[in-house]
Amino acid sequence: MFFCYNLLVHLAGFLLKIVAWFSPKIKLFVEGRKLVFATLSSKISTSDKTIWFHAASLGEYEQGLPVMEKIKEKFPNHKIIVTFFSPSGYEVRKNNTVADVTVYLPLDTKSNARQFLKLTHPEMAFFIKYEYWPNYLNELKKQNIKTYLISGIFREKQSFFKWYGGFYRNALKTFNYFFVQNESSKNLLQSIRFTKVKVSGDTRFDRVVSILERDNKLDFIEQFKNNTTTIIIGSSWPKDEELLIPYINQSQGVKFIIAPHNIKAEQIQNLKAQLKKKTVLFSEKENQNLAEFDVFLIDTIGILTKIYSYADIAYVGGGFGNPGVHNLLEPATFGVPIVIGPNYSHFAEATALVNIKGCLSIKNQDELNQTFDLLLQNEDERYEKGHICATFVQMNKGATATIMNYICNNQA
């Protein structure tokens, strides 16, 4: 099985180089890995102490950030190495301040794994939520490097729990300890005889709680909002916008800020063309009286979290596609009632918030219209649902402390 896996990885590496000629994203994936070993050689010496964190993409990085920050605080003499698999994570966070070195993770070949660990020689390795690369994990095990999964989540349909999943279960055997989000994940691991597992919860709650302690002020958003009830639309996709645009166009006395998932110029202009309300783009905001506009289109990245702090109502996109809705916890931590599409069952926090009625799921135009009208017209309803969201976040914080307590007491 290992032979077949390694053959497929090498084949994938070859095919990706071809696809890179036609796909800008795959080109970043391929080109970004070319200088990884040279970067590591220049930034890490053999005498350095290091700790390694791996995140698949941006979401996993944000999820692991509270632990990274605490590890950096607890081990100030260690260099922190962060690796990404996806360009959508690396390109956004390559200049982060928590890591001493941030690079792409080279493809999971035996030689890459050996070379990577030779150059980085970490004392500990943390994989965030998922991604189980057999060659890296086996090499970590061979070198007796403590390896942890944090904010892990497991589902019954995964290969680990099937009769044919022996190869994948062997990859799990390399972990020293599992910190999982829920009892279901713990029970699944125990069903295949993994006992070093603790339900720590989801570190994303710690991440979003910490946002409240930071400066979230944006002068241009305050100018646009101008003390008017405002609906923030975050990470929207075209299927979301098909329902949102008609509502925006017929609305009165309310403002909208839209931060689409895709900010390519052509799609932003197409979205703007469909809006009948007076609309301004972030990239065109200078020398404008923003208070005069009804819709603010955010054609940049990195500020949506702060924008949510100005929301009276939030619509979080992705719920009409697969795998489903985007991050609800950022608006929730600000005590904002949330509206989403119907595809949310893969996300525990979304399911929980819908069940306790802090978040409302809609399936069609009529339901969207009715839900927004209810929240806009009934201030008490809006505040109650926002309070539910904020309380939910506060009640679920603490995963980072659980993880750090174990790490600090098991260093020997």
> Active-site residues: which are they?
60
Cα separation, 393 vs 353, whole angstroms: 10
Name the β-bridge partners of 179: 198
